[in-house]
Amino acid sequence: MAVYYDIDRLPEFKNAVITIGTFDGVHLGHKAILNEVVKHARNIGGESILLTFEPHPRKLLYPDQPLKLLTPLSEKIELITAEGIQNIVVVPFTKEFSNLTAAEYIEQFLVEKFHPKDIVIGYDHRFGHDRTGNIDLLRSYAVKHNFEVFEISAQLIDEAAVSSTKIRQALIDGYVADAHHMLGRSYFLSGTVVAGAKLGRTINFPTANIHPQDKEQLIPANGVYAITAAIDDATYKGMLNIGHRPTVSNDIALHIEAHLFDFNEDIYGRDITIAFIERLRDEVKFNSLDELKAQLAKDKENSIKVLG
């Protein structure tokens, strides 16, 4: 696997089979496309290549419409590679690039940089300035530049019944199990463990306070979740609260706090990756620490039931 960040310094790819898109989330619909790319490359003895964009095009084109991402770039690369893609090209999405006409996009970008043999794209793929390019325009250049265009049908993608937009909304609403179903995996959030108020340990529920590694990644709805947590090569079961700690402080700042079961290590400064399994309840303000402690005991019991 190779990752390229400079489109002016690319190797000569052999029988390049390419696909193009943001692939945020690398969900089941995306995987249908990636599997086709890998199959085509294998059939013609070529190299599979995925072109993605950084930053997400919507951030440049619609800066007044906030967009939270499902997968930071490093995680997206790992997930794409796991599907068998051999080469990933991270294309800097700039104002200049966005102003390429659809014809310039084909000839100056796709053909000049990659000399594709096969191009595999979704049925609704759009490209070029104002998104005027489509699969029919791409096919009109195929004979001239000696490539074939293969369309991923609406049926193949829609059978997965997913989209990045649907997944974002599920997470915003706290439906992490639904997001899991559409992603084909748990939703992950990676961060660093930082020092907190250390109140949890006084009621026998010590927590790891997590600072997300990517500030642009979507954080699920406030509430309590059953989770698993990966630290180095080990995975632990636990529960996690997202919110403002109304019982003890009601901070304006958002806190992400994980309590790991049967765990008693000092992990300040270490990386942790949370997998969201199921949402248990809303965040609630209790009248006392004793009430909070009693509820946390119930949350732990419910988490253990969910996690098995």
* More reliable by pLDDT, 295 or 123: 295
Strand order in the sheet with 148-152: 2-4, 87-92, 47-54, 16-20, 116-122, 148-152
Q: Provide the pLDDT for residue 202.
A: 66
> Model confidence over 165-178: pLDDT tens digits?
899 999 999 999 99
The band of 297, judged by pLDDT with boundaries at 50, 70 and 90, is: very high
Q: Provide the pLDDT for residue 285.
A: 87
pLDDT tops 60 at residue 160: no
Shared-domain flag, residues 185 and 158: no
From CA 34, how far away is CA 152, in angstroms rounded? 10
Mean pLDDT score, 256-280: 94
Shared-domain flag, residues 79 and 199: no
pLDDT tops 90 at residue 161: no
Share of the chain above pLDDT 70, in %: 95
CATH number of the domain residue 303 falls in: 2.40.30.30
From CA 206, how far away is CA 203, in angstroms rounded? 8
296 lies in which domain range? Answer: 179-307
Q: Provide the pLDDT for residue 100.
A: 96
Residue 109 is encoded by which pair of tokens?
């970008």
Length in residues, the chain: 308
> Model confidence over 86-107: pLDDT tens digits?
999 999 999 999 999 999 999 9
> Does 55 sit behind a cis peptide bond, omega within 30 degrees of 0 on the bond before it?
yes
Domain assignment present for 297:
yes
From CA 73, how far away is CA 56, in angstroms rounded? 10
CATH number of the domain residue 90 falls in: 3.40.50.620
Q: Provide the pLDDT for residue 286.
A: 86
Shared-domain flag, residues 137 and 49: yes
- Average pLDDT in the chain: 92
Q: Provide the pLDDT for residue 264.
A: 86
Q: Provide the pLDDT for residue 190.
A: 97
Q: Provide the pLDDT for residue 157.
A: 63
Shared-domain flag, residues 151 and 186: no
The band of 215, judged by pLDDT with boundaries at 50, 70 and 90, is: very high
The band of 123, judged by pLDDT with boundaries at 50, 70 and 90, is: confident
Which residue, of 99, 127, 162, is where some domain finishes? 162
Domain assignment present for 19:
yes
Q: Provide the pLDDT for residue 200.
A: 63
Domain assignment present for 173:
no
Residue 169 is encoded by which pair of tokens?
């909304």
Number of domain units in the chain: 2
> Model confidence over 37-93: pLDDT tens digits?
999 999 999 999 999 999 999 999 899 988 899 999 999 999 999 999 999 999 999
User: Which residue type sits at 98?
Assistant: S
- Residue 9: CB atoms within 10 A of its CB come to 7
